[in-house]
Amino acid sequence: MIPSLVLAVRFLTIVPVPGPEAAGPGALGRAAWWFPVIGLALGGALALADRALLLVCPPLLGAGLLLSMWKIATGGIHLDGLADCLDGLGGGDRARRLAIMKDGRIGSFGAVGLVLSLVLAVAALAEMPSGARGRVLLLAPVTGRLAPLLIGPCFGPAGGGTGASFLAGMSRLAGPVWLGAAIALGVWLLGSWGPAVIAGALLAVWLWSAFLARLFGGLTGDVLGSQVELGELVVLLAVAALAHRGLI
């Protein structure tokens, strides 16, 4: 298997894959070309799992179990980034915020933020028609993993660490190339609403990233992880709202 793909799979999921992984400075950034591919594979697996769950579970229970599978499959890595970012907001200055984010313990801001994000995701999935659920499960993981590729280069890193290494190694072409592919996927899945959903999710992530970059002095690995989580959540909420109005 391709070393950069091995690295991307191991970083983004708990799936055990054989073979050596890419190594060295910036290796994860170079492996970012594979992130949307892994998102699509994850989405396909979730869509299949959702079909099975709908046969035996009521919608709310099925949505809760599906979301549990989703976050377990990714090792909760992006939830961890979101929680750290939210906890960092409680710091009085930039240095204190970054120190809080590096602390392995979760604080009240992070805990409340995680609960709210998971509740919103479960509610969005539970209220969708079964047909819409299958489509959004393909689109959301791709859009979420596109966000760091497209929005990460818009801001500088906050010091060193994983985030700085990722941004340094990532090609600036990856975001635009995969944006085109994601839009095509969105049109196929949701028709004319697909690009609008993707644009809305990416805009929300950009605003979130700009806000955090101002507070933290740039992007960190946690901020990049939170971009994935927020991008996925906005797609779920947007599609749920459209389905409720009978537009998709």
Q: Which of 93, 31, 78 is nearest to 17 (CA)?
A: 31
Rounded-to-integer distance, Cα 67 and Cα 41, Å:
16
Rounded-to-integer distance, Cα 20 and Cα 73, Å:
21
The structure's pTM equals: 0.94
Show Cβ contacts of residue 200 under 8 Å, excluding neighbours closer than 6 positions.
Answer: 234, 238
With contact defined as beta carbons under 8 Å apart, do 78 and 228 qualify?
yes
3-state secondary structure 47-71: HHHHHHHHHHCCHHHHHHHHHHHHH
Q: According to the model, what pLDDT value does residue 64 have?
A: 96
With contact defined as beta carbons under 8 Å apart, do 243 and 132 qualify?
yes
Show Cβ contacts of residue 196 under 8 Å, excluding neighbours closer than 6 positions.
Answer: none
Per-residue pLDDT of 26-78, as tens digits, reads: 888 899 999 999 999 999 999 999 999 999 989 999 999 999 999 999 999 99
Strand partners, 157: 219
Rounded-to-integer distance, Cα 81 and Cα 232, Å:
14
Rounded-to-integer distance, Cα 233 and Cα 117, Å:
7
Rounded-to-integer distance, Cα 238 and Cα 150, Å:
20
Rg of the chain's alpha carbons, rounded to an integer? 17
Q: Which of 238, 160, 191, 172 is nearest to 33 (CA)?
A: 172
Those residues of the chain that have pLDDT short of 70 are 1
Write out the two tokens for 72: 């377990």
Write out the two tokens for 187: 């049109």
Residue 184 sits in which domain range?
3-244
Contacts of 16-25 with C-beta under 8 Å, sequence gap 24+, read: 25/165, 25/168, 25/169
Rounded-to-integer distance, Cα 184 and Cα 128, Å:
22
Write out the two tokens for 210: 């700009």
Q: Which of 211, 205, 214 is nearest to 175 (CA)?
A: 205
What 3-state DSSP class applies to 18? coil
Q: How many domains does the chain have?
A: 1
